[in-house]
Structure 1
Amino acid sequence: MSTYKVELYIYDLSRGIASALSPMLLGKKIDGIWHTSIVVYGREYFFGSRGVESCNPGSTALGAPIRIETLGETEVTYSIFIDYLKGLSESSYSGDKYHLLRHNCNNFSDEVGRFLCGSGAPRHVLDLPEEVLNSTLNAGLLSLVHRLEDSARPLVEEERRGGPQSGVKERNSPDYERLNSQIEEARYASFVLEQRRKRIDGKLEKSERKREKKRKKILESGGILPPELRPEYARLKMADAETVNGQAQLTSDQAIALEEEQEKRDEEEKKKAREPPIVFKDCVDVKNEFDALVALIDGKLTPEEQRATEELQQYMIGEEGSWALSDGFLDFVGRLLNDDQFSADVRVKTFNILAAAALKDDVILVLHQDRKDHVLMNYAFEIDRLSIEEQESIALFMANMFENLSSSEWLLYISEWTYNNRQTSNIRVTTKVAVHSLLADSTVLRDRGTAIVHNLACKEVKTVVFDDVAVELTMALLQFFDSRPPEEQLFRGLKALARFVRVSAQEIPQLVRMIGPDPRSFAGTSARVDAVIEEMAPKLR
């Protein structure tokens, strides 16, 4: 998964004046009147009385920042970030919501930074407005800083040359909005091309380093073909290879080409051997579920929501792509899930249909819409407060999300948000659903819970799953094993535990020994269960 650096640009609006005059005016020294912005994906983003704006890094009228702090790395893609930013600019960070003391550029930087990488603006920056501006000089300072804040905006080309803005469209006009949208699209296309170019350059450099290393190895060996490649050499029958003392001798380029071809085949074999996810493809009759949903909500929808229903039908029954769903589709889903006017059956049908949609390879484009309001994950977060039928539909959705790499990675996002005064994230919600389902009384939930835990553990790459929540999942598995589950569920759980034991070679085995039961107590259940137990047994001693 690609990552991008997230930086905080810190400016002094007073340009040093605050540091010099604050002892006399305030009776204490402050270092500056801070303005901050977030720099990521090659752009600088900030909030002011005009709303959310962006520019090339360091190209506002404030000039260069006095300090740049690296907040971290983000896995959030550019397109998801732009959707998120658009949501902020249309809601809590529109221009009319700006307030110098209570809702300013620093609050924006803090919130966006935490969304991207879990780290926001420093405390001393966030506390400065209350500390300084709530003084006896409040009115005068407010007026001064308002004027200073006005300079924290992008410079158009005419201003940089000292000329008029005759060519600039009026803000908030349709022409301006259209032009701004086109500019952002062009920037996005340029950004994507640049990222692809960097990735290609990086791969080429890596490939060349590997080839050079192989050339050196071939030269040191005198060009003698290694034993492991001789069968492949016989298959390829390179006509111009020489034989020295009965051994195949190749040029360095021939040997490198041969080795690279073998590496490709090895990689393909690894992919074939990769553990397939456990999903439930035949649990939902989409047409029946859709017809039942329509009957339940008939006469209760706005015209926009009625159109969203038709879009859902095109996507799920008409076999259209996710392009059939409008940008506001998840607003419609959010109402179905959260409006008390609708029964629990509506929520069950909705999530059952989404569980079927999770099997589609373009479902990630729908999920991208959820980065603003977290409609799906906030609902799933409440799994322990919902009816059994709702819980089962959520667990089905989660398990099926592992069908595709992109949607499974979406479940593991670590960017946090606040819900009901609690910090959460996609990975935390996914873990909660897995644990709750695993330990439920419902046999259906337990079956789907073991599928989710199995799929989480068998992800090919080492992710935050193993680093952050493996202990929580292991404790749930051990409690689950106490119930002596059926062979299929036991096998899934032991497969997950074996992966956790392999990745966390100290903490997880120690936890198993302390809590139990010992996985070896299940020996004899089946041949495949015995194989998994044998795999992890040496690390449990």
Structure 2
Amino acid sequence: MASEGVPVDLYIYDLTNGLASVLSPSILGHKVEGVWHTAIVVYDREYFYGGSGIASFAPGSTQLGAPHQVERLGHTCVPFQLFNEYIEGLATSTYAGSAYHLFEHNCNHFSDEVAQFLCGAHVPKHILSQAERDLPAPLRMALSSLLGQLVPDGTQAVYANGVRHSRQDSPDYLTLNNQIEEARIVSQELDAKRSTIAEKLARKERKKEKKRKKLREQGGTGDDTEEMAEAMEAVEAREPVSLAGPSSRDLDVEAEERRAEEERKRARDPPVVYRDIDGAQEFEVFSKTLEGVELSPEEKQSLDELQQYLVQGEGSWVLGDDFLSFIGRVLSDLSIKSEARCAALRCLAASALRDDVSLVLHQDRRQHALLGYAHSIDLLPVEEQRALGLFVCNLFENTSSSEWLLYISEWEYRGHALSNIRVTTKVCVQCMLSEQTDLREYGTALLYNIASKEVKTVVFDEVCVELAMAALQLTQYEPEEEHLWRTLNALARLAQHSSEVPQLIAIVGPDPSAYRGRSSRVDEQIDIIMKKVK
């Protein structure tokens, strides 16, 4: 590496290979020098953005051949590892393949943003401002087809869902990935243990309820029934510990310790949740939206179980094994109207405020009906995005459900390798950067809740850069004071978790000091951030 840093080049291609300058006067009435496509070349790799997302390959190896022009933009001192994480963050947010638009959000906009990140440079204005009128409809169709074929066979490295498919990463980056993979394995083992304990607790609760019902049927009422049931449970609690697993007493002690720890964390950093939601009212709305929908006997039973849970106040033990299959159908069956999905999500948001909701969440580890649906948030109607944002925010009410949102263990969903933390992050970023104020409310709440969690660093290694980049982008939108405070508070916490965040703040900007004076608590967070940046 040279003392001034790694060179950053802009490769400029004319997609018409010179025909635009020859034919444009007769077709358009004025001369167009070229139809420009650009890519950033750095670290001996060429990066560009198209309809398939962000791709990386050997410089000049696409079907376009040699570039029309190469422009030296400058040099960068951004570490290779940090740059890769930055690119992966873009690939799952603003520069996902589904976000591509030939005119409004294309390769040139990507090159300009990456150039600013690396060395503070810009793509030439005449390339960025090439007017739509210069591209007649037939040419647009041809260009879309051409851009879809730019990645050569055998050398592609498309960034999909933040996962690099290239095998040409640096040794340091590969070492980091290996460490993360080892942590994932440990996390999977912990997840399995948590699930086992959760299932035992659920079985125990069902067993208790059956005993109470039996005692009531035998003539016991009120306090007598409760006392008799508790006496029977006390006798059983004295049974020896089984070699097959923890006893009921062990599970009770562990549950109590978790509740105590949860209360300590809540008192120190209370999550942003939305308690002004009535489960009984939401269930009534949900039931009405399902009128006319043909439900199977199992689905009708699940609906009745939800009523017992939300309206009658029964424990989560009443929700049977088919409940999440029922919810999954409502969320995925397009023949069911969107209002039903919104109502179902609001019912789940009310359920999320209860401390036993985690028992339901752990049942979803096979189908992934909830987070699989959440992964498609960018494709959902705004109303469903609102309901989903509310649900995910309220899951931070309890430690067990918030930890579920942050699991890093990977799972397959419709051909994608996902994890709970990545889906949670996607929901957060999508809401944060929305033009809808109420969605920003949920997005900044999620950002604050995620950043305030005391979790192992490896969890934030997965998403820290992406969250920080989204936070920096949001500050440029002049958010209201509450949203700005949450965002800066999260940035300050993320800067404590990762040394890369202060680098991003310094390199990418904007300077947090520009927002001084909004309020005393905003200024306090800016002081914390600037101590890390300097």
Change (3 A) 1:411 1:464: farther
Residue of 458, 465, 468 corresponding to 1:464: 458
Q: TM-score, normalised by structure 2?
A: 0.53
- Residue pair 1:359, 1:400 contacting (<8 A) in 2 also: yes
Name the SS for the 2:418 alignment partner.
strand
Does 1:508 find its partner at 2:495?
Answer: no
Name the SS for the 1:340 alignment partner.
coil
How many angstroms apart in 1 are the aligned matches of 2:264 and 2:289? 47
Which residue type is aligned with residue 80 of structure 1?
A: S
Distance apart, 1:455 and its partner CA:
0.3
- Residue pair 1:354, 1:397 contacting (<8 A) in 2 also: yes
Does 1:431 find its partner at 2:425?
Answer: yes
1:80-135: CA deviation from partner (whole Å, max 9, x where unpaired): 36999xxxxxxxxxxxxxxxxxxxxxxxxxxxxxxxxxxxxxxxxxxxxxxxxxxx
Name the SS for the 2:314 alignment partner.
coil
- Residue pair 2:299, 2:322 contacting (<8 A) in 1 also: no
**Correspondence 1:65-464 to 2 at 5 A:** 72-73=185-186, 74-78=189-193, 80=195, 190-193=244-247, 271=265, 274-282=268-276, 284-299=277-292, 300-464=294-458
1:504-540: CA deviation from partner (whole Å, max 9, x where unpaired): 2x31111011111111111110011111111222111
How many angstroms apart in 2 are the aligned matches of 1:440 and 1:70? 33
How many angstroms apart in 1 are the aligned matches of 2:183 and 2:467? 32
- Residue pair 2:407, 2:420 contacting (<8 A) in 1 also: yes
- Residue pair 1:457, 1:465 contacting (<8 A) in 2 also: no
Partner of 1:117: none
Change (3 A) 1:277 1:515: same
Distance apart, 1:295 and its partner CA:
1.7
Name the SS for the 1:423 alignment partner.
strand
- Residue pair 1:357, 1:363 contacting (<8 A) in 2 also: yes
- Residue pair 1:456, 1:465 contacting (<8 A) in 2 also: no
Partner of 1:520: 513
Does 1:479 find its partner at 2:473?
Answer: yes
Which residue type is aligned with residue 306 of structure 2?
A: L
RMSD: 3.2
Percentage identity across aligned positions?
Answer: 48
Which residue type is aligned with residue 483 of structure 1?
A: Y
Name the SS for the 2:427 alignment partner.
helix
- Residue pair 1:314, 1:324 contacting (<8 A) in 2 also: yes
Gaps of 5+ in 2: 1-181, 200-239
How many angstroms apart in 1 are the aligned matches of 2:263 and 2:400? 22
How many angstroms apart in 2 are the aligned matches of 1:274 and 1:191? 34
1:426-457: CA deviation from partner (whole Å, max 9, x where unpaired): 11100100011100111111000000010000
Change (3 A) 1:195 1:339: same
Which residue type is aligned with residue 495 of structure 2?
A: V
Distance apart, 1:189 and its partner CA:
7.3
Which residue type is aligned with residue 380 of structure 2?
A: L
Change (3 A) 1:189 1:329: farther
How many angstroms apart in 2 are the aligned matches of 1:302 and 1:446? 38
Partner of 1:531: 524
Distance apart, 1:323 and its partner CA:
0.9
1:405-440: CA deviation from partner (whole Å, max 9, x where unpaired): 000000011111122321101111001000111001
- Residue pair 1:311, 1:324 contacting (<8 A) in 2 also: yes
Name the SS for the 2:411 alignment partner.
strand
Distance apart, 1:292 and its partner CA:
2.1
1:311-338: CA deviation from partner (whole Å, max 9, x where unpaired): 1011011111101111111011111111
1:435-488: CA deviation from partner (whole Å, max 9, x where unpaired): 111001111110000000100000123343422211000000000000010000
How many angstroms apart in 2 are the aligned matches of 1:320 and 1:452? 29
How many angstroms apart in 2 are the aligned matches of 1:286 and 1:491? 30
State the structure with bigger RCO (CA 8 A, min sep 6), 1 or 2. 2
Which residue type is aligned with residue 304 of structure 1?
A: E
Change (3 A) 1:340 1:187: farther
Partner of 2:148: none
- Residue pair 1:417, 1:424 contacting (<8 A) in 2 also: yes
Which residue type is aligned with residue 515 of structure 1?
A: V
Gaps of 5+ in 1: 1-68, 85-185, 204-266
Partner of 2:80: none
Distance apart, 1:79 and its partner CA:
6.4
How many angstroms apart in 1 are the aligned matches of 2:404 and 2:263? 26
Q: TM-score, normalised by structure 1?
A: 0.52
Distance apart, 1:340 and its partner CA:
2.1
Q: Quick check: 480-489 or 411-420, which moved more?
A: 411-420
Which residue type is aligned with residue 245 of structure 2?
A: F
How many angstroms apart in 1 are the aligned matches of 2:436 and 2:304? 34
Partner of 2:40: none
